[in-house]
Amino acid sequence: MANTLVFGHKNPDTDTIASAIAASYLLNKTGNDTEAVAQGTPNAETQFALDYFSVKAPRVITSADTSTVVLVDHNEEAQSIDNLADVTVEAIYDHHKFSFTNTTPLYITAKPWGSVATILYYEFKQVDVTIPADIAGLMASAIISDTLLLKSPTTTTYDQPALEALAQIAGLEDYENYGLDLLKAGTDLSSRTDKELIDGDAKSFDMGGHQFRIGQVNTVDIDEVLSRQDGIQAAIQEENYEDFLFVITDILNSNSKALYLGDANQAIEGAFNGKLVDNIIDLPGVVSRKKQVVPPLEKQF
């Protein structure tokens, strides 16, 4: 068994799983003994990438069976393993806001770039470690996923060069066509239950004393998702969160609508300068939870 586990947040997305695999490989090539694991099974989009590049999904954990860990794509306790307080965090690779506290020195690379895979691409370059084609493919997929093919407002000047280089290593002659197939693979929602929809990409946040849960799903037809509103609301109510915002994002037109259940309607309307109608609020131009959903909520609360 490896000495150190490398993993991303609960309800893992493509960047989370790809970055755990890439970071573990990099660390092992620089003298460490790590294993990439995941806090959940891959979603449809991630599984598409894993299958395309013939990579086995990491084993699933809820707590660490090692004394040391490395975090990727998160740094908040609410999004991490159950026994985080009982292990030593040796390193963090992340692109989110920081709320991590620690009593021991550790290696931190945190940059406001489009994906953790972008950060790791430059980490590989810095230490002159060659990226294998299959891992490069997963990293390219992660950048495509987190930046919505470089169209998200989270995209930076570092992301496109990294994506182009990784696509070349992976043998992706047309990463745009591949990227559309990847993103569309994650929008087939017909086989998912209402609970799977709200939990598939959801994160918890503490905002001004409110325990906020924010879920997001990508689609090419928002109305199709909203046709399941009654079932989605019932699934949310069963989970007993104080506030739940479920963001439904049209990846082709770069717009969203959100379903909100909670007791802070006025604050939600103020955060997004809109009106809740039947628990639904329009979010024109919104695609990024990290940059366009969480910040206005934090400011409001």
Which pLDDT belongs to residue 247?
97
Question: Which of these, 225, 290, 288, lies nearest to 259 by C-alpha position?
Answer: 225
CB 251 within 8 A of CB 187: yes
Which pLDDT belongs to residue 193?
94
The mean pLDDT of 197-201, rounded to a whole number, is: 90
pLDDT surpassing 90 at residue 178: yes
Which pLDDT belongs to residue 108?
96
Which pLDDT belongs to residue 57?
98
pLDDT surpassing 90 at residue 258: yes
Which pLDDT belongs to residue 9?
96
- Please state, in angstroms and rounded to a whole number, the distance separating the CA atoms of residues 4 and 18: 17
Which pLDDT belongs to residue 253?
87
238-244, Cβ contacts within 8 angstroms, sequence gap of 24 or more: 238/195, 239/198, 239/213, 241/211, 241/212, 241/213, 242/210, 242/211, 242/212, 243/207, 243/210, 243/211, 243/212, 243/213, 244/198, 244/212, 244/213, 244/214, 244/215
Which pLDDT belongs to residue 201?
87
Digit-coded pLDDT (tens) for 33-45: 999 999 999 999 9
CB 19 within 8 A of CB 72: yes
- Please state, in angstroms and rounded to a whole number, the distance separating the CA atoms of residues 154 and 146: 8
Encoded amino acid at 87, one letter: V
The mean pLDDT of 55-62, rounded to a whole number, is: 98
What is the maximum span of the chain, computed from C-alpha positions, in angstroms? 56
Digit-coded pLDDT (tens) for 82-110: 999 999 999 999 999 888 888 888 999 99
- Please state, in angstroms and rounded to a whole number, the distance separating the CA atoms of residues 163 and 158: 9
Which pLDDT belongs to residue 206?
85
Residue tagged 């995209």 (tokens): 155
Which pLDDT belongs to residue 282?
97
